[in-house]
Amino acid sequence: MSRQYHVAIVGATGAVGVEMLDVLERRKFPVSKLTLLASPRSAGRTLKFRGEDVPVQALGPDSFAGVEIALFSAGGGISKEYAPLAVKAGAVVIDNSSAFRMDDDVPLVVPEINGADVKNHGGIIANPNCTTAITLMGLYPLHKKFRVKRVFATSYQAVSGAGAQALEELRAQVSAIEAGAKPEVKVFAHQIAFNVIPQVDVFVDNGYTKEEMKMQGEGRRIMHLPMLRASVTCVRVPVYRAHSIAVSAEFERPVNVAEARQAIEAFPGVRVVDVPAEKKYPMPLHVAGKDDCEVGRLRLDCAMDNGLAFWVCGDQLLKGAALNAVQIAELV
């Protein structure tokens, strides 16, 4: 009989936590016992796992007794406070927040790209930023073929990336506008319905946002490419689920589209959808709920030498979060 594990999900009632539960079941992860942890206000709720109701418990210092794998998705503050406690109790923590991503002694992992880094963990493994993970699923196979030097990218990020309340805000604003009422703005700085907001996360000293700088910082760690340069603009768009990124990348070696397409097609976890004449290209509507990312609009970049432009879409709750975390757990 194969080994079974006591698994905990921290932030189990959140958007990513619910997806983690589904991915564990769908991928038949060997769970012997499941502990669902959330804030006290969610305690007492139940969530379905393998046809059974599992109660949600209030997260506390003693929540990790016997836990072997702890999937965290409850924000950086919770991770910083409770992940060390989970490790001390004997668990391997896979953390979905930004709390540990840039720590030198914490592996930052996309399994298809740098899965071998998992073996260097000291109890905590970090899950990357969702936009970064989806972008790299398209970029890394091209990097292996042509060696990437720098990247220019613009993201088109779904509201669910900002949590369940953001999702509800878009729905409520659309309904209000259709009814002729004034839409209420709470989660975002501006109305998101029928609008785009060129800010995701807070601004830093160089004029970029923290979200925009993650692609360079995290991309360097994941791809083991300390000289990577990335100029990114992150935009929130009125899409419920799945992020899209327009990328122009410059490479060291001469590039061609046919070889680029072959490199992506051969890479696990990503599909090429690229028949412009038939209006076939990746769209968030089509990748929502799917494990694989999709790449299309592949073309030579006409503004730089050895440049390729492409468009990549992926479900940020899956490859950008829950799926990637469970894949890391599978490696562990």
| Residues classed as catalytic | 130, 243
The Cα 250–Cα 246 span in angstroms is 14
The Cα 4–Cα 8 span in angstroms is 13
The Cα 103–Cα 40 span in angstroms is 30
Closest C-alpha to 102, from 126, 136, 76, 71: 126
DSSP 118: G
Question: Are 96 and 16 contacting, i.e. CB atoms less than 8 angstroms apart?
Answer: yes
Residue type (1 letter), 139:
L
The Cα 35–Cα 18 span in angstroms is 13
Residue 262: CB partners within 8 Å, gap ≥ 6? Answer: none
Q: What is the CA radius of gyration of the chain?
A: 20
- For residue 174, give the H/E element and its range: helix 164-178
- Between helix 130-146 and helix 210-222 the angle, nearest 10°, is 40
DSSP 122: S
**How many CB atoms within 10 Å of residue 37?**
28
Question: Are 87 and 63 contacting, i.e. CB atoms less than 8 angstroms apart?
Answer: no
Q: How far is CA 227 from the centre of its chain?
A: 23
